Structure 1
Amino acid sequence: MLDNALAGIKVIDLSRILAGPWCTQNLADLGAEVIKVEQPGRGDDTRQWGPPYLEDKATGEQLSAYFSCCNRGKVSVAVDFSSAEGAAAIRELVRDADVLVENYKAGSLAKYGLDFPSLQALNPRLVYLSITGYGQTGPMADKPGYDYVFQGMGGLMSYTGQPDGEPGAGPLRTGVAVIDLSTGLYATSALLAALFQRHTTGRGQYIDIALLDVAVAMNANQGANYLVSGKNPERSGNAHPNCAPYEVFRCADGHLILAIGNDGQFRRFCAVAGHPEWADDPRFRSNALRIVNLPALRGLLQEAFPTRTRRAWTDAFDQANVPWGPIHSLQEVFAHPQVKHRRLLQVVHDPRLGEVPTVRNPMLSGSGRNPSSVLAPPLLSGALHLPPPAGLEQSAPATRHPSTSSS
Structure 2
Amino acid sequence: MNNLERLMVETGRVIQRRYLLQRLVKQGQICAVYQGFDQVLQRPVAVKVAAAEQTATYRAALRLTSQFAHPNIIGVYDLIIEPDAFYLVQEYVDGDDFSTLLQTQLTPYQVADFGVQVCRALMYAGTPSHKVCHGDLTPASVIRDRSGLVRVSNFALPSDTNYFTTWSVIGNDGRALADAQLPWGQLTDERRADDARAVGLLLYQTLTARTPGAVSVEPPADGRLRFQRNVPPELCNIVARAIVRQHPQYITTAEALYAELKPLAEALEPPIVVTTSMTGMDELAARSQPLMGGQMAGVAVRETGAAAPFTEGHAPFTGMEAALPSSATVADLPAKLATARQAAYAQVAPAGQERKLNLPVLIGLGLALFAIFFIVGFFLSRAVFH
Fold conserved between structures, TM > 0.5: no
Q: TM-score range by the shorter chain?
A: under 0.3
What is the TM-score normalised by the length of structure 1?
A: 0.22
Q: TM-score, normalised by structure 2?
A: 0.23
Which structure has the higher relative contact order (CA within 8 Å, separation 6+)?
1
